[in-house]
Amino acid sequence: MLYRKFGKTNEMVSTLGFGCMRLPIIDGDSKNINEVEATRLIRHAIDNGVNYVDTAYPYHGSMSEGGESEPFVGRALKDGYREKVKIATKLPSWLIKSREDMDKYFNHQLERLQTEYIDFYLVHGIDGKSWENLEKLGVKDF
């Protein structure tokens, strides 16, 4: 596996990451992740050098209520796998109405991922208008 420095950080991440937006599902229901197969896939990738796992609040579910991807990732990374990877997830920009919402969603995502920290926290789904709102609410200080 090849690794590269992530941006201006000193974090070395695999050039190939594992995206958790479209995991195997059961009966065509995107909220019903096939956890046995998806866990096998993610752990196989990690066992073979992948150390960057990407998920987001709405993946495998609803834009407003959150999806099943983050909770699945939290379960799949048990048994020592969390320590082997960098997790990337995203602030759901469309749900942010106040500065407090940023903390609320971040803390909720920590719980969903069953972790004490998120390695890379990205802003999800921004456009000019949503970015103006986030700036006004203090996203840069956040």
Q: How many helices (H) and strands (E) does the chain have?
A: 4, 10
Instruction: Scan for tokens 């602030």, then name that residue.
Output: 91
Q: 8: which 2 tokens?
A: 């201006």
Domain map of the chain by residue range?
Answer: 3-137
Q: What is the CA radius of gyration of the chain?
A: 15
- The active-site residue, picked from 59, 81, 117, 121, is 59
Cβ contact 60:23 at 8 Å: yes
Task: Tell me how crowded residue 83 is: count the other CB atoms within 10 A of its CB.
Answer: 6
| pLDDT, tens digit, 9 for 90 and up, residues 12-46 | 999 999 999 999 999 999 999 999 999 999 999 99
What fold does the segment set 3-137 form as a domain? Answer: TIM Barrel (3.20.20)
Distance CA 142, CA 139 (A): 5
Q: What is the pTM of this model?
A: 0.95
52: annotated active-site residue: no
> What pLDDT digit, counting tens, does each position of 67-97 carry?
999 999 999 999 999 999 999 999 999 999 9
Sign of the alpha-carbon dihedral angle for 61, 36, 14, 8: positive
